[in-house]
């Protein structure tokens, strides 16, 4: 199949949500996370590959567990890809896509148009671009133009400054400055991760995340440290109304966050 035409790409999966012109009318989304390292499903602490805990040797089986629990979305990160600058866990991602019908957003090592098109064509709903959003913003803008609603930007911050290359490199650039670059570019979401909290179960950095969401018009997804049902309750508070949702990793794997309770809490807030 020709990869140079957006029209040739497979249509995105239906995420089962009513499409609204006003994103704030939509309910928040809890994204369970699968981080891939050497074909396995792991969780890191503060992004450190040396502090990896393997939670499942079969990422597709893990994706199936999340689907069975009632999730409709899935956040997948190719960790080796984020460090290498190119996709590394291709087979594992393909198996996930074949196994579940979830709406998959994928990041890690997506740094050029060919890779973006390749993943979208394979059935990824939304690609996440981190390092290239800092180094090559024109790529993000072009991709967002070509694939509306299917390109998200991942901004991973230490003390408000964006980290890149698997978080091994620290830039001097402010999260807000970078986010503003994409204000009118048609980017679907900004996924904001507090690196210091990631995998630490200390709770999401709500103040920083909400401040970012209030400062820009792009929907923001909170990530890093989601610890318990309390974070899910914060997600549905009025002060978090501009958030698209949040990502849950370790808390789901170690049972601190019960999937059924979390989804019930969100559904109740939605009023059905």
Residue 225 binds ligand AMZ (CB under 6 A): no
Residue 174 class from Cβ within 10 Å (0-12 exposed, 13-18 middle, 19+ buried)?
A: middle
CA distances from 201 to 6, 66, 225 (A): 40, 20, 5
Look up 159 and say whether it is catalytic: no
In the complex, the smallest distance separating the C-beta of residue 238 from ligand AMZ, rounded to whole angstroms, is: 27
Site for ligand AMZ in 104-133 (CB under 6 A): 107-110, 128-132
Look up 35 and say whether it is catalytic: yes
Residue 253 binds ligand AMZ (CB under 6 A): no
The DSSP secondary structure of 62-84, one letter per residue, reads HHHHHHHHT--EEEEEEHHHHHH
In the complex, the smallest distance separating the C-beta of residue 264 from ligand AMZ, rounded to whole angstroms, is: 28
Among 15, 58, 121, 156, the active-site one is 156
What are the tokens at 65? 């567990």
Residue 87 binds ligand AMZ (CB under 6 A): no
Burial 205-226 (b: 16+ CB within 10 A, else e): bbebbbebbeebebbbbbbbbb
In the complex, the smallest distance separating the C-beta of residue 18 from ligand AMZ, rounded to whole angstroms, is: 27
Chain-centroid distance of CA 26 in Å reads 18
In the complex, the smallest distance separating the C-beta of residue 107 from ligand AMZ, rounded to whole angstroms, is: 3
CB 245 within 8 A of CB 28: yes
The stretch near ligand AMZ (CB under 6 A) out of 50-58, 143-151, 159-167, 172-180 is 159-167
Nearer to ligand AMZ, 194 or 231 (CB): 194
Nearer to ligand AMZ, 193 or 234 (CB): 193
CA distances from 67 to 43, 98, 107, 158, 217 (A): 19, 13, 20, 32, 30
Residue 193 binds ligand AMZ (CB under 6 A): yes
**Residue 184 CB coordination number (10 Å):** 11
Residue whose structure tokens are 């148009």: 113
Residue 167 binds ligand AMZ (CB under 6 A): yes
In the complex, the smallest distance separating the C-beta of residue 170 from ligand AMZ, rounded to whole angstroms, is: 12
Site for ligand AMZ in 18-57 (CB under 6 A): 44, 47
CA–CA dist 218, 140 (Å, integer): 14
- Which of 29, 30, 36, 82 is in the footprint of ligand AMZ by CB under 6 A? 82
- Which of 60, 120, 162, 164 is in the footprint of ligand AMZ by CB under 6 A? 164
Interface residue list for ligand AMZ (CB under 6 A): 44, 47, 77, 79, 82, 107-110, 128-132, 154, 156, 164, 166-167, 193
Residues with catalytic function: 35, 156
């Amino acid at each position: 199949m020709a990869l140079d035409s957006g029209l040739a790409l497979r249509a995105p999966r239906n995420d089962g949500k009513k499409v609204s012109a006003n994103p704030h009318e939509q309910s928040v989304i809890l994204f369970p996370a699968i981080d891939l390292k050497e074909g396995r499903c792991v969780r890191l602490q503060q992004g450190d590959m040396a502090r990896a805990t393997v939670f499942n040797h079969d990422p597709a089986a893990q994706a199936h567990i999340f689907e069975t629990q009632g999730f409709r979305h899935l956040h997948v990160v190719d960790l080796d890809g984020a460090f290498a600058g190119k996709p590394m866990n291709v087979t594992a991602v393909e198996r996930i896509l074949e196994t579940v019908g979830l709406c998959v957003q994928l990041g890690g090592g997506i740094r050029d148009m060919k890779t973006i098109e390749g993943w979208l064509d394979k059935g990824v709903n939304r690609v996440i671009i981190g390092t290239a959003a800092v180094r090559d913003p024109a790529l993000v803008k072009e991709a967002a133009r070509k694939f509306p609603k299917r390109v998200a930007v991942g901004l991973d911050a230490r003390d408000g400054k964006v980290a890149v290359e698997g978080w091994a490199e620290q830039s001097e650039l402010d999260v807000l400055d970078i986010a503003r670059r994409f204000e009118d570019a048609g980017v679907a979401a900004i996924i904001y991760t507090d690196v210091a909290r990631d995998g630490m179960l200390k709770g999401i950095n709500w103040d920083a995340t909400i401040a970012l969401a209030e400062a820009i018009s792009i929907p923001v997804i909170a990530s890093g440290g989601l610890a318990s049902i309390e974070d899910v309750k914060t997600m549905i508070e009025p002060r978090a109304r501009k958030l698209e949702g949040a990502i849950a990793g370790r808390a789901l794997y170690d049972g601190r966050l019960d999937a059924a309770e979390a989804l019930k809490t969100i559904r109740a807030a939605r009023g059905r």
